[in-house]
Structure 1
């Protein structure tokens, strides 16, 4: 292994020397061009400042004798002219090291034939040929990169087209699933409703809307049926929570109430008896309950309550009041209705039973109850099938707190 050193005080001379050394050691023309540019970039400030520069190179041959490692060092007599490590790493061909007075590149190479070196040193025209070769390598590399860019662009366009088609397919599938899901939810909601009730002398209608579109119902349920004595029994339940779990709780309550009512239990006792029946089976049930019993012949109305919002009675003359029958709901301490409230309904009177989602959409139940009276009076004489939904629309012009909503209207025929 022999180290050779030459002095180079001009940029052109330095570039020629680097180019010939790289050529003699069979460096790739593209790598050679980068090496020439890198050495020139480091040396140019020193040459302008008249700092002496030197170029030394060493070739260490591998065992096979056909390859090895070329170490090229650019020496600068002024250490302050040396580039920083960051600058050396950012050269066209990054330097491998910056030592006390040298910038070093280490490159895989081949041994340099002495004859070829001597010929190059004696042939100034060889430099032009080497530059042309380097330019051709650069152009070839640029063309290859451009071709690769076009290929990747085409692949990306094809991929984007495929992804777009996939998105369309997924969107169509999701739309089908949404429709099927919606149909299933509507069918489930209809299955949870009691059969429509036709009673001489009375008009009945109901409106229900879940808190969200992902569940067909929540804990707000109702039940209505005619007892053997001809009176109409109505149950409105609001079980704690949302979704299917609360629906199960509400169904348990309505079924228990219906059984007790058909067995002839006194209306005021049914809330407490329902709690007794359900407690051994489901200790997690918590629900408010409103029970109404109406005689369509006499207009006699009886109301029992277990922690539920009070029923609203709007008279045909436009006056209205809430029927406050206090009590505690299912799962509450000391459940049951404290008293049985009795009223007399006349032709044209409207009874509205509802859950708190109707009046508490703005988180202020007092303000909600005031607006509910106004809405009931506004729609008092509308067709009965329109009244619950119209009142719900009026109450939900602003919703700050979404909740399941149930509104059930009963009007005595005029």
Structure 2
């Protein structure tokens, strides 16, 4: 067992002693300067305060030789910090740091005892500096290779990103085409009837989900009367679309079978209740005689229609009733009126008037918007009204705005 203890009052002396001991023990150059740098960091505060430190080295004469370096700080008031050292140290009781460094075996061609004629301090420092430069060159080479690999990877990622963007755009376009086809199938174009002009505007609550529970249907009955259905099913998305379709199809079937308009809402509830127990929807039915202008309205919990006279006078057509899925569904009575040439009828869902906090305020704004746009071409009126109503939207909702104007034959 080879043990040596030295006392040090300066960092320079401590580093010099450590370098020579490490060289004599045959430690690699990198381990040598890491050990010297670590011991310097541990002892710096003590030596700066004028207190000595003690360096003890122990070399075990064994096949698996190791060099143990103990740095004692007997006068230190606290344990020295050992975190983040270039060469990790062990913490022992008392103010000390211990490094146990394996000593590499000597090659078969080596002669003489290790460290018999150690070089001077300058030579040791030059050797460490040379090793550090080599290490830096190796790291610089690794860094350059990593930069090249990263550039190649980024180039590949960018190309993949462009491909994904193109694919995503293709999917968006295909998705849009499918949704437009679906929307066209769900929302029939206006019927063409002499004496009447019809137009509609639909606006989904969410642009990426253009189907919802707000639907409409219009067709001509065998006697020439125009039938219009407006439905607002509870919820959003495809589920509410299915519910609204069930309602419009049931209403169309009952109307074409000749059921009285005042019984269709209640009868629709009876038909659908057997297979859709959760369905809830408001419904409004309108019958119009193109020649006479006779108007009949049945209502099931739906917002009232708005009648705008040719002179600008407005009136809400409020017919009481309860919708599909409500207790005692059906229209309590029919509301009858007459459209004169130039009169405009506005049918809508609550997304048009309830975008504000007060629905009554929304109905008043609707009357002003319809009065303002009543002389425009019929195909422009629904969208113009919706644009006025949606200047501020507090509660986005699917919206249908449907207009009918009577004209001279």
Shift of 1:103: 2.9
Shift of 1:301: 0.6
Summarize deviations over 1:329-372 as a string: whole Å, max 9, x none: 01000001011111011111111111111111123211110011
Which residue is 1:262 aligned to? 256
Summarize deviations over 1:263-318 as a string: whole Å, max 9, x none: 21111111111111111121111111101111111111111100001111111111
Summarize deviations over 1:107-160 as a string: whole Å, max 9, x none: 00147987444433xxxx532222111111111111222222222222223222
User: 1:48 and 1:378, CA in 2 relative to 1: closer, same or farther beyond 3 A?
Assistant: closer
Q: Is the 8 A contact 1:59 1:111 kept in 2?
A: no
Instruction: Find the aligned partners of 1:2 and 1:18 in 2 and give their Cα distance.
Output: 15
Q: State which of 155, 161, 171 in structure 2 corresponds to 1:167.
A: 161
Which residue is 2:178 aligned to? 184
Q: Is the 8 A contact 2:7 2:53 kept in 1?
A: yes
Query: What RMSD in Å do the two structures reach over aligned CA positions?
Result: 2.1
Helix, strand or coil at the partner of 1:375: helix
Shift of 1:94: 3.3
Instruction: Find the aligned partners of 1:183 and 1:205 in 2 and give their Cα distance.
Output: 22
Determine whether 1:413 maps to 2:382.
no
Instruction: Find the aligned partners of 2:376 and 2:218 in 1 and give their Cα distance.
Output: 22
Which residue is 2:275 aligned to? 281
Which residue is 2:17 aligned to? 17
User: 1:57 and 1:176, CA in 2 relative to 1: closer, same or farther beyond 3 A?
Assistant: same
Instruction: Find the aligned partners of 1:18 and 1:256 in 2 and give their Cα distance.
Output: 97
Q: State which of 122, 128, 135 in structure 1 corresponds to 2:122.
A: 128
Determine whether 1:312 maps to 2:309.
no
Q: Is the 8 A contact 2:306 2:317 kept in 1?
A: yes
Determine whether 1:105 maps to 2:91.
no
Which residue is 1:143 aligned to? 137
With the length of structure 1 as denominator, give the TM-score of the two structures. Answer: 0.91
Which residue is 1:357 aligned to? 351
Shift of 1:46: 4.5
Which residue is 1:326 aligned to? 320
Which residue is 2:336 aligned to? 342
Which residue is 2:214 aligned to? 220
User: 1:76 and 1:345, CA in 2 relative to 1: closer, same or farther beyond 3 A?
Assistant: closer
Q: State which of 69, 74, 86 in structure 2 corresponds to 1:72.
A: 69
Q: State which of 75, 84, 108 in structure 1 corresponds to 2:79.
A: 84
Instruction: Find the aligned partners of 2:327 and 2:17 in 1 and give their Cα distance.
Output: 100
Gaps of 5+ in 1: none
Shift of 1:5: 2.6
Which residue is 1:31 aligned to? 31
Shift of 1:44: 4.9
Instruction: Find the aligned partners of 2:407 and 2:50 in 1 and give their Cα distance.
Output: 114
Helix, strand or coil at the partner of 1:255: helix
With the length of structure 2 as denominator, give the TM-score of the two structures. Answer: 0.92
Instruction: Find the aligned partners of 1:138 and 1:145 in 2 and give their Cα distance.
Output: 10
Q: Is the 8 A contact 1:23 1:32 kept in 2?
A: yes
User: 1:33 and 1:333, CA in 2 relative to 1: closer, same or farther beyond 3 A?
Assistant: same
Which residue is 2:265 aligned to? 271
Which residue is 2:292 aligned to? 298
Q: Is the 8 A contact 2:265 2:330 kept in 1?
A: yes
Aligned residues: 404
**92-101 or 324-333, larger mean C-alpha shift:** 92-101
Shift of 1:54: 3.5
